[in-house]
Amino acid sequence: MTILTFLAMLVRGGRGVLVAPHVGRRSMKMTANADSERFQNGADKYAAYLETPEGRLRSDLSFDNLQDFLPPQAKDLCALDVGCGTGAAAIRLARLGMHITVLDSSPAMLDIAKRKAEEAGVADKIVLQHGDAAQLTNLFRAASFDVILCHNVLEYLDDPIAVLCGAARSLRDSSAILSVLVRNRAGEVFKAAIQAGDLAVAESNLIAEWGQETLYGGRVRLFTPDRLQAMLNAASLAVTAERGVRVLADYLPSRISRSADYERIFELERKLSRRPEYAGVARYTQCVARLG
């Protein structure tokens, strides 16, 4: 039995059984304030991360998964990118002919998104909106969008279900799709054990509600696939597909070049992402959902 198989069995055995510690409202508010500050002051750092092989792989895989569920004729559809960051996904959707609204609470992120959209020649298809993901209901009319992205957003929010409810309200009809990407708790177990060699943290992460992310040094909420699906169901959303993002790439030996072998790594990850036994231990979980 390999370490991958053993850890997968260990993580799977704990899903739905162990209860995470309670996090108080004051603590969550403090976390939200810290998140706002790090995304405002660290926008350039985040943009640089997205240019690394790890950042590219996360973006490329999640968009590849999304494309499997877009209609063949995506031109003129309306999309919303919640927590758009640097606008990378929005630019890709705009190139397909969609009209995109990008929402972010960080003016610095929106500035980068605007500049990149202009450089890509798709600025006419992208509308920038400054605001909080928790205010979707107040910011947009009901049934406004055919596609909504919520990638790497819920792990930084006080009330993920409220945001999902706002997103569900904004979907145009039962054919519209919501794509959600979150930090997978099982991936944090693997990261601690394989990358850091810290078995104590790996064991702790089996039941942790919060993890430590490395880019800014702040906390992030951890999800299990079961928990994410339950949240989507609570928002009257039905899961169409579940995929894993970055299953093995973070643990490859140094002799494999993340840059020179990027396409081979991407193709392997693409195959792994569609197999539940591997997707369950990926660094990120992606769910595509529709109105239930």
3-state per-residue secondary structure call for the chain: CCHHHHHHHHHHHHCCCCCCCCCCHHHHHHHHHHHHHHHHHCHHHHHHHHCCHHHHHHHHHHHHHHHCCCCCCCCCCEEEEECCCCCHHHHHHHHCCCEEEEEECCHHHHHHHHHHHHHHCCHHHEEEEECCHHHHHHHCCCCCECEEEEECCHHHCCCHHHHHHHHHHHECCCCCEEEEEEEEHHHHHHHHHHHCCCHHHHHHHCCCCEEECCCCCCEEECECHHHHHHHHHHCCEEEEEEEEECCCHHHCCCCCCCCCCHHHHHHHHHHHHCCHHHHCCCCEEEEEEEEC
Residue-level pLDDT at 218: 83
Confidence bin at 73 (pLDDT 50/70/90) = confident
Does pLDDT of 81 surpass 50?
yes
- Residue type, position 215, single letter: L
Q: pTM here?
A: 0.87
Confidence bin at 39 (pLDDT 50/70/90) = low
Euclidean distance between CA atoms 16 and 212, whole angstroms: 22
Confidence bin at 37 (pLDDT 50/70/90) = low
- List the one residue out of 161, 180, 163, 181 whose CA is nearest residue 283: 181
Euclidean distance between CA atoms 138 and 132, whole angstroms: 10
Provide CB contacts within 8 A for 28, sequence distance 6+. Answer: 158
First to last CA, the chain: 40
Query: Could you give the domains of the chain?
Result: 3-12+33-291 (3.40.50.150)
Residue-level pLDDT at 7: 43
Confidence bin at 40 (pLDDT 50/70/90) = low
Sign of CA dihedral 272, 278, 284, 286: positive
Confidence bin at 71 (pLDDT 50/70/90) = confident
Confidence bin at 35 (pLDDT 50/70/90) = low
Euclidean distance between CA atoms 85 and 61, whole angstroms: 17
8: its two tokens: 């997968």
Does pLDDT of 292 surpass 60?
yes
Of the two residues 69 and 13, the one the predictor is more confident about is 69
Euclidean distance between CA atoms 40 and 36, whole angstroms: 6
Provide CB contacts within 8 A for 64, sequence distance 6+. Answer: 270
Residue-level pLDDT at 125: 97
Of 38-47, 116-125, 154-163, which range is least confident? 38-47
**pLDDT per residue as tens digits for the range 182-241:** 999 999 999 999 999 999 999 999 999 999 888 777 889 999 999 999 999 999 999 999
Euclidean distance between CA atoms 83 and 88, whole angstroms: 11
CB 227 within 8 A of CB 14: no
Residue-level pLDDT at 36: 56
